Structures are given as C-alpha cells and as structure tokens.
Amino acid sequence: AQSVAQPEDQVNVAEGNPLTVKCTYSVSGNPYLFWYVQYPNRGLQFLLKYITGDNLVKGSYGFEAEFNKSQTSFHLKKPSALVSDSALYFCAVRAYNYGQNFVFGPGTRLSVLP
Amino acid sequence: EAGVAQSPRYKIIEKRQSVAFWCNPISGHATLYWYQQILGQGPKLLIQFQNNGVVDDSQLPKDRFSAERLKGVDSTLKIQPAKLEDSAVYLCASSLEEAEAFFGQGTRLTVV
C-alpha cells in the first residue's frame, strides 16, 4: 500500500526567506513523486515531479524538490518565498507499476508573511 | 491545450436527493480519476478508469455512488441518495501513462 505523510499542518515563513514543506512516503517499489498546489476554490495545479534521474528536480514558479531514497522523503523548497506562494500544498506518490493511482498527503498550508 | 473540464462548479441538494457530475478530460488522456476532497483533507480516490474500463474502485461507496466513462472519453459520477457526509469537492483528473495528473476545478457539493 502507498501512503504519504506531511508532518506539518501549517508552515509560516517571512517573504524573501527560504521555505521548506516536508513530505515522506511509503510505497512498494520505485516511486513517482509529485507536488501540487491548491489555491482557494481551485483545483490542484501540478508543480513538479520526480520519476528517475537527478535527485533534485526543478518545477514551476521557482520551486524545487529533493528526492532522498534512504529517508523516503521528497521535500519541497524555494530559495525566496513570495506572498503569492501562500496556498495549500499536497505531496503525492504513485507506484512505479502502470495503472496505480495517485495517493495524496493531508496537505500543508503555507503562509508567507509580508 | 484545453484543460480538464468539470460541471457544475457548485451544487446544493437536500439529503436523499440524487446528483450527477460531469467531466471531460484532456484529449488523448486514457486515464481518468474521480477524487473526493473533504474540507481540510487531501484528495481521496473514488474511482480510476483506463479508457472505459475500471482500474480501481475499491474506495467507491457502491451502495450510493456510481460512475461511468462511455466511449473512453467523458465521465459522469452520480450519488443517489446523497448523505450529509457527501458534502465535499469532487475533483476529476486525467493523465497519460506514467505522468502527472491534471485536475479540473472541481464541483463543490453541499448536502443540506
């Protein structure tokens, strides 16, 4: 079975400071890992993914994430936070086998303070 | 490229009534998902289609929920009869094989 944990319900950071949103996962076999962002009354927007290759992946809006296989983690990072980054962030995992669905974490609310 | 289309955006019904949601995925995407997102929680899979076949419906409450994907394109999700606890956002998504999923804006259902 697949599962995703996001240990922080809420992350607060000052504008201009670096941000990290944490994610750990559990899956049989090699994982596909994803980050999505959700703004109020909107669907989920894809930010970035790890499939294979370089452990550091870069995505939309300056976000990046680092895959750490030994720690089964996939933390989302950004060097300099913007107020407009304030939103709900979801980590998701998908098993390598074709046909497996996306399992989402509970979400982390990011607040960037001006 | 057009995104995933869902309708309606909002729906309010009384408990024990029925309701249906519609989804049109991105053209060429064989895989279609329906997720339920309760306020404050992450999305939970209800059903996954591959073309017009069901891949996973293990978490679909089959006594009241049903879904179909005729001709492997559009899909409808139905609830009959609705319960108060069905109040949630229903998200449709589609994807290519081994790629990210793209989500529609969702339908917010309120059962009163």
The neighbour count for residue B63, using CB atoms within 10 Å, is 8
Mean pLDDT of chain B: 94
Q: Flag whether pLDDT at A97 surpasses 70.
A: no
pLDDT tens profile A53-79: 899 999 999 999 999 999 999 999 999
The CATH architecture to which B40-91 belongs is Sandwich (2.60)
DSSP state of B85: G
Q: Where are the domains of chain A?
A: 3-98
Task: Tell whether the model's pLDDT for residue B94 goes beyond 60.
Answer: yes
Q: Does A94 have pLDDT greater than 80?
A: yes
Q: Which residues of chain B make contact with A32, given a CB cutoff of 8 A?
A: 98
Instruction: Identify the contact set of chain A against chain B, taking CB-CB distances under 8 A.
Output: 4, 32, 34, 36, 41-46, 49, 51, 90, 98-99, 101-107
For B22-66, write each residue's pLDDT tens digit: 999 999 999 999 999 999 899 999 999 998 899 999 999 999 999
Q: What contacts B61, CB < 8 A, 6 or more positions away?
A: none
pLDDT band at A91 (very low <50, low <70, confident <90, very high): very high
Mean pLDDT throughout A16-27? 96
Report the alpha-carbon distance of residue A24 to residue A46 in Å, rounded. 18
Token digits of residue B32:
């279609």
B15 to chain A, closest Cα gap in Å: 23
Span A83-103, average pLDDT: 85
CATH topology of domain A3-98: Immunoglobulin-like (2.60.40)
Look at residue A98 and tell me whether its pLDDT is greater than 60: no
* Per-residue pLDDT, A96: 63
Nearest to B89 by CA among B39, B49, B51: B39
Q: Do A49 and A57 touch, CB atoms closer than 8 A?
A: yes
For chain B, the domains span 40-91
Flag if B103 and A49 touch (Cβ within 8 Å).
no
For residue B4, the number of C-alpha atoms closer than 13 Å in the C-beta half-sphere is 33
Taking an 8 Å cut-off on Cβ atoms, the answer to whether B45 and A103 are in contact is: yes
